[in-house]
Amino acid sequence: MLEKDVIAGLHDEDPAAWRKLWDDYSNTLTYFGIRLIKDPDAVQRHLVDTYVKFWRIRKNFTTLVQIRAFLFVTLRNSIYDELRQKKTKKAIFSNYVTLANIHEQVPAEEKPDMEDLQKLLHTLLNELPETNRRILQLSFMEGLSTNEIAKKLGITVSTVSTLKSRALNTLRSMVDNGQIPGLDPSTILAIMILIELMAIN
């Protein structure tokens, strides 16, 4: 099916369009979810919820790029909510492999280069004030807790939390405001995922 036919079919509740949407993205989303939470049953539950949420507002979307971004972000948020409730720490640098869902399974012409993504992330981090940048590096790349970071840097726990939140909001704004122009949708999505991974440690 052509993209316009899929979009029209989704708007018109065509079962064939729904099946294509599921077939095209469910495996990639499942892989992505399992990298965030090591529980296949939980991932399937979150995945079904994600598709239900999409179905309710499907007429708001006009491109597959928009739909794919919504599915990834919604699944991510759903899983993060569960992880936060369990106070689970997942944001260590090894979770960078989460992006394999994009690198391995999307069409070749849309794949972001993993090395380029890492360089881009470092470029973004270098735009932050030194302490803010160091806090994110210690949290995301070294897996230190807020208390451990506070002790290492000689600052209070509340200061660490405040500066980390401020740094993440700055990174989000840089992406949202197009301060890294010329990026394709898959690369933007990958950077968004990396930023949100840093938020859950």
- In this prediction, the residues of the chain whose per-residue pLDDT falls under 70 are 85-115, 178-187, 189, 196-201
Q: What string of DSSP letters covers 67-130?
A: HHHHHHHHHHHHHHHHHHHTT----SGGGGGGGHHHHHHS-GGGPPPHHHHHHHHHHHHTTS-H
The domain made up of 107-198 is a member of CATH 1.10.10.10: yes
| Cβ burial, residue 178 (10 Å; 0-12/13-18/19+) | exposed
Region of residue 63 (left: phi > 0; alpha: psi -120 to 50; beta: else): beta
Chain centroid to Cα 23, Å, comes to 21
Residues 6+ apart with CB under 8 A from 82: 37, 42, 46
pTM for the predicted model, two decimal places? 0.47
The tokens describing 90, both together, are 């997942």
- Other C-beta atoms within 10 Å of 53: how many? 16
Ranges of each domain in the chain: 3-88, 107-198
Confidence at residue 180, expressed as pLDDT on a 0 to 100 scale: 65
CA of 104: how far to CAs of 32, 44, 67, in Å?
A: 11, 20, 19
The tokens describing 11, both together, are 């708007």
Question: Rounded distance, CA 81 to CA 75, Å?
Answer: 10
Confirm if 84 and 194 have CB atoms less than 8 A apart. no
CA max distance for the chain: 59
The tokens describing 84, both together, are 């936060």
